[in-house]
Structure 1
């Protein structure tokens, strides 16, 4: 039997790029990583929002810098990823979190446009970001990729087919790239959040959220963005070196419950 191995549970000094980091789960992820000593690239198409989050982090004496990033823009992805690596001296962790809300019926005139936009932001962007990050991740001692999907990839809701299709694609992409990049020591995992309190779900009346959560989740409540962010952090620890290709619901038991 081999000797006990001390594996690091610290991301201090590692550099993480988080997309969609101006609000919700992205903001929480940026703040959680910064609090643990990581260098955080706060990226979002909402430039002012990204700068606000970076300022919140640096005000606490932690390390962050904001970049505007439209994940549907291939050239901007390359520019920002290379800029992050140049600024921090490398890139260790990529968190593909950016997303949009899409609600459209299959028969609606705007369906094709909604489908194209949903896949551009929530699926096509992922391999583009990964391709841009690969040269930098291959130089890291603890390279990690975490893709944020949704429980909509595991079950479905009416009027959300572009969203569900994009998120299901993310789970398949995660498994495939986990196999492909495993030889490089790069882990690729996926989180499927369930009902989480974000700007999108803020539009739902509180009484409706309460009824839904009590009826559908084992814990009987909505989750907080930080609860997803801490799972993301766990997947990115240097000690999480033998976990790859996983699709993990963070849903309060939503997918486990039949009735």
Structure 2
């Protein structure tokens, strides 16, 4: 073993990234952060106009990286198979894939809406992840530092009432992450997962500030909701060239929620 210190790169300048669900919340914050770090970023979301708005924000912010907006419904397998390669080609390749798109459809098991909530949750937050990775894989295999980050949730580490479709999907994302980390490790492709806790996003926008404060003081050691940028910085850490030896992880970004017993 050499005693020489090996300096590893902490820059993604010039890297090419695709972020799903990039029009708001954690996806938007991740796109901004990657562009600020000099990456070229493909932004996808359901609404083309919303993607273009984020791309305009990135341009107006003067970030050194560039943004390419494109509408994509991640529940549409054909659209994924078509759009992901197109965007990778336009970027000149692909180094980073962030599967961030998500939503919440709470339902009780005996609700009439439950079967639809289940099907939509699994399709949009689990099957979509696997399809996006499959579509991106030929391009990631050509990268020097290929990275996949799946966004799950602390609901993938536990459960809340009336939310089993979402809980099941997020548990599945963690399982998918671990399975693919084993399968793709021999190729040097890292696959990791982030489990955000209570974050200020569109999913939590309907909760009043009063109830957010009550929940945070009761359940979160840091006693507050997190911000999308705080999740984005963990995502950045996992896609750095220096993060070569991190794979198969499920990292909570939750203010300590998952370690608090009472």
- Aligned to 2:138, the other structure's residue is in SS state helix
CA RMSD of aligned residues (A): 0.7
* Cα distance in 2 for residues equivalent to 1:53 and 1:32: 12
158-167 vs 3-12, which moves further: 3-12
Matched residue of 2:257: which SS?
Answer: coil
Report the TM-score, using the length of structure 1 for normalisation.
0.99
- Give the secondary structure class of the aligned counterpart of 1:132: helix
Question: Structure 1 CA distance, aligned partners of 2:128 and 2:88?
Answer: 18
Q: Runs of 5+ in structure 2 lacking a partner?
A: none
Q: 1:150 aligns with which of 153, 160, 166?
A: 153
Matching of residue 133 in structure 1 with residue 107 in structure 2: no
Aligned mates of 1:60, 1:160 — CA distance in 2: 38
- 2:51 paired with 1:84: no
Rounded Cα–Cα distance in structure 2 between residues aligned with 1:145 and 1:130: 8
The whole-number CA distance in structure 2 between the counterparts of 1:83 and 1:61 is 26
* Post-superposition CA distance 1:139-179 (Å, at most 9, x none): 00000000000001111111100000000000000000000
* Total equivalences in the alignment: 259
CA distance in 1, matches of 2:235, 2:168: 22
Paired with 1:208 and 1:61, the residues of 2 have a C-alpha distance of 37
Q: Which runs of 4+ in 1 moved over 3 A?
A: none
Say whether residues 1:68 and 2:95 are aligned partners.
Answer: no
Cα separation, 1, equivalents of 2:137 and 2:156: 26
Shift of 1:48: 1.2
In the other structure, the counterpart of 1:45 is: 46
Q: What is the TM-score with the length of structure 2 in the denominator?
A: 0.97
CA distance in 2, matches of 1:60, 1:206: 29
1:223 aligns with 2:223: no
Out of 237, 241, 244, the position equivalent to 2:244 is: 241
Task: Report the CA distance between 1:60 and its aligned residue.
Answer: 2.6
